[in-house]
Amino acid sequence: MKTITILSGKGGVGKSSITASLAIAMSKSRKIICADCDVDASNLALVFGISEDSFEEWDLLSTNQKAEFDLEKCNSCRQCVETCYFNAISWVDNKPKLKEFGCEGCKACKIVCPKDAIRLVDVFNAKIGYSKTKYGFTVVSAQLTMGESGSGKVVSEVKKKATLLAGNSENSTEIMLVDSAAGIGCPVIASVAGSDFVIIVTEPTVSGFSDMKRALEVVNHFRIPCEIIINKFDINMDQTEKTERFAKENGIEILSRIPYDKAFSEALVNMTPIAVHEKKYEKLFDDLSEKLLFDFR
């Protein structure tokens, strides 16, 4: 199975809309599965018209731990408070007390505690689920619990679950489309790692250009081939040309230029991918899919 990851340096550039329509186009000739790895703000399933309560399954997920104190054993030495880099321990009535949402599960307090009064316990920090779309393929999704950390590991679990489901298909799944989180943080690195190909979605703005270059650094780090889609290319032609010049100088192909069109917003409101909502975009995404599949022959 080949993995194609759709990435953007900044949010709001249309990454999930593009992923959804590309998935529909690819599914016409290949068996695919989608992994929504934007676990802080997952919305790929919604673009396909699937609400949270119509998922086939939700499981609690634990990819993180938190410190727990046995105050009977504690001798009030304060070493844990002084050691915690994340300032996650407060001092109440001469004893340590964990701050809700502060602990990153790094174990440093446990290591320094002279009384073995601290243990690390698993916490459920996300839920993970999947659902069949009305377009015939499955989408796997996860949602990080508010205030919890460990999103990179949650992304890895989403990819693992998608791989498992892909293996269970009657005929083997050929392509996994990964909708990455935006930015360059931990969940993005977990999304990009192990991919066969990356598509960077950008828009022609100063911040879009700068964030695209940062996203490219992550992709280059893993030496993964990539191409660029310029979304809303006609809102700023000077910036679009700058992006194209940059791509040419760096040997990166522009996979597609998509115009600004309020039909994209209408499609989102109707929970329908743009390739289904508007006929002319069906052709655009069919062509895009054909080009990608040609590269994967």
Binding site for ligand SF4 (CB under 6 A): 67, 69, 74-80, 83-84, 86, 88-89, 96, 103-109, 112-115, 117-118
CB contact set of 290 (below 8 Å; sequence gap of 6+): none
The sign of the torsion formed by the CA atoms of 18, 21, 27, 31 equals positive
CA–CA gap between residue 132 and residue 124 (Å, rounded): 25
Closer residue to ligand SF4 (CB): 109 or 166? 109
Q: Closest approach of Cβ 145 to ligand SF4, in Å?
A: 17
Q: Closest approach of Cβ 181 to ligand SF4, in Å?
A: 23
Closer residue to ligand SF4 (CB): 112 or 254? 112
CA–CA gap between residue 178 and residue 7 (Å, rounded): 9
Closer residue to ligand SF4 (CB): 106 or 271? 106
Closer residue to ligand SF4 (CB): 115 or 245? 115
Q: Closest approach of Cβ 124 to ligand SF4, in Å?
A: 17
Per DSSP, the three-state class of 70 is coil
Cα 75 from chain centre? 44
Cα 13 from chain centre? 14
Q: Closest approach of Cβ 68 to ligand SF4, in Å?
A: 10
Closer residue to ligand SF4 (CB): 6 or 80? 80
CA–CA gap between residue 89 and residue 97 (Å, rounded): 5
Cα 252 from chain centre? 23
Closer residue to ligand SF4 (CB): 112 or 293? 112
Is 47 within 8 Å of 15 (Cβ atoms)? no
Strand-pair category, 118-123 with 64-69:
antiparallel
CA–CA gap between residue 181 and residue 190 (Å, rounded): 10
Q: Closest approach of Cβ 95 to ligand SF4, in Å?
A: 7
CB contact set of 24 (below 8 Å; sequence gap of 6+): 135, 273, 275, 276, 285
Closer residue to ligand SF4 (CB): 1 or 106? 106
Which stretches of 124-217 are assigned E, i.e. beta strand? 126-132, 138-144, 175-179, 197-202
